[in-house]
Amino acid sequence: MDRHTPWPKSVFARNLTEESGTTELMDDLGEALTLGRGKIRMMGGGNPAHIPSMQAIWKERMREMLEESTGEFDRVLADYDPPAGSPSFRSALADFLRREYGWQLTSANIAVTNGGQSAFFFLLNRFAGAMADGSEKRILLPLVPEYIGYGDVGVSASPLFDSRRPDIELIGERGFKYHIDFDNLAVAEGHGAMAVSRPTNPSSNVLTDEEIERLRGIAAERGIPLIIDNAYGQPFPGVIFTETKPVWDENVILTMSLSKLGLPGTRTGIVVAREDIVSDIRSMTAIVGLANNNLGQALARPMIESGRIRTLAMEVVRPYYRHSAEQALALAFEHLPPEVPWRVHQSEGAFFLWFWFDRLPVSCRELYRRLKEAGLVVVPGHSFFFGLDTTGWDHARQCLRVSFTQPEEVVTAGFRILGEVVREVYR
């Protein structure tokens, strides 16, 4: 029991200290990866796998930086970067994206942040909440389930999101796929921006090129940006299993990250946007933290300059995760009870399988609790359905996100536990 009388909290503090799915997930992840190794199978958070050949490349690059003659390591450690990011990293990335995709951009269109999560904290609060003109706006999520990390970032008193249910396409006996329900996507005056992750965390859904084009058209017509979270997409880390076209223009705000390439510890996020938005992000970074962590930028810059990063993404990272996803699917079919009406979303990218347990006799939160008790940590699905009233929509309480990035023996043991606990729950 806390012996102190609580001090009153600001709205900002209330919003950022309430129980949150993101905090619970990161606590679970940290606990399992530090204290619980061997006892807890961690299939909750989106930690990237430790891919040996990628780790060797980062170590080699680090050795190069440590060479006294380059002086690079001293600069990384002892100098603050400007708040928009390292100038050489920003121009290397702008050149790379121009070469790869023909996008008309320069380093003034690139801002670096302390991870994609910070980028979303800034962007979502930039476009919605209590507006400077006294109005209130919300972020329109055309399809939930959507990334849990957005859910609790709002700092003002009004709700931050207005979300839409998807169309659910049933595929065969065990599969399904989400689609945007365009008939139900009226953009209103009160929407400050639209946002999607592609591939989507948690479902692994990849919005089709046609869906993205329609969203771009709608956003441009209404004069609001379309924010596309590309944490898993192309050109890096390339954890996307369908053939799609990356897009950017001045109506799109594209976010990227070095995390899923294997560098989450360096906290490096990237925002590709109009110059005025880059300037806003720059100011916010300066005020919140002066500058960004610069290690990830220094590690990755030469690979971006040479274009090798794309080859690594396509030839090492993508096949690695595609194989892990296939193995995880095979384990699901092996261990989940055939008599239970489970389905799994089409595996199209990211680090997860998204299960739907139709007619689940308990809530997904209770299923999560029982799995944790049995030694398996996953993420209960309800936390991904924010920004709408889910009363009467059973689907929002019947899903689980299961990550497959941990070593094979952990994933195999995890699916065994999942199978046993699910069988027990439906009995």
Contacts with ligand PLP by CB under 6 A lie at 46, 115-117, 147, 149, 197, 201, 229, 231, 257, 259, 264, 269
User: Could you tell me the two tokens for 342?
Assistant: 């489970």
In the complex, the smallest distance separating the C-beta of residue 277 from ligand PLP, rounded to whole angstroms, is 17
In the complex, the smallest distance separating the C-beta of residue 211 from ligand PLP, rounded to whole angstroms, is 17
User: Could you tell me the two tokens for 251?
Assistant: 């109506």
Q: Which is nearer to ligand PLP, 111 or 231 (CB)?
A: 231
Q: Which is nearer to ligand PLP, 107 or 257 (CB)?
A: 257
- What angle (nearest 5°) sits at the alpha carbon of residue 288, between those of residues 286 and 291? 40
In the complex, the smallest distance separating the C-beta of residue 403 from ligand PLP, rounded to whole angstroms, is 10
Q: Which is nearer to ligand PLP, 117 or 163 (CB)?
A: 117
User: Could you tell me the two tokens for 296?
Assistant: 């990830």
Q: Which is nearer to ligand PLP, 201 or 347 (CB)?
A: 201
In the complex, the smallest distance separating the C-beta of residue 146 from ligand PLP, rounded to whole angstroms, is 9
In the complex, the smallest distance separating the C-beta of residue 416 from ligand PLP, rounded to whole angstroms, is 26
Q: Which is nearer to ligand PLP, 192 or 233 (CB)?
A: 233
In the complex, the smallest distance separating the C-beta of residue 117 from ligand PLP, rounded to whole angstroms, is 3
Q: Which is nearer to ligand PLP, 336 or 346 (CB)?
A: 346
In the complex, the smallest distance separating the C-beta of residue 257 from ligand PLP, rounded to whole angstroms, is 3
166 close to 193: Cβ distance less than 8 angstroms: no
In the complex, the smallest distance separating the C-beta of residue 142 from ligand PLP, rounded to whole angstroms, is 15
Q: Which is nearer to ligand PLP, 401 or 419 (CB)?
A: 401
Three-state secondary structure of the chain: CCCCCCCCCCHHHHHHHCCCHHHHHHHHHHHHHHCCCCCCEECCCCCCCCCHHHHHHHHHHHHHHHCHHHCHHHHHHHCCCCCCCCHHHHHHHHHHHHHHHCCCCCHHHEEEECHHHHHHHHHHHHHCEECCCCCEEEEEECCCCCCHHHCCCCCCCCCCEEECCCEEEEECCCEEEEECCHHHCCCCCCEEEEEEECCCCCCCCCCCHHHHHHHHHHHHHHCCCEEEECCCCCCCCCCECCCCCCCCCCCEEEEEECHHHCCHHHCCEEEECCHHHHHHHHHHHHHHHCCCCCHHHHHHHHHHHHCHHHHHHHHHHHHHHHHHHHHHHHHHHHHCCCCCCEEEECCCECCEEEEEECCCCCCHHHHHHHHHHCCEECEEHHHHCCCCCCCCCHHHHCEEEEECCCCHHHHHHHHHHHHHHHHHHHC
Q: Which is nearer to ligand PLP, 117 or 297 (CB)?
A: 117
Burial-class residue 284 by CB neighbours within 10 Å (0-12, 13-18, 19+).
buried
In the complex, the smallest distance separating the C-beta of residue 121 from ligand PLP, rounded to whole angstroms, is 10
In the complex, the smallest distance separating the C-beta of residue 352 from ligand PLP, rounded to whole angstroms, is 9
Q: Which is nearer to ligand PLP, 263 or 278 (CB)?
A: 263
Q: Which is nearer to ligand PLP, 25 or 411 (CB)?
A: 25
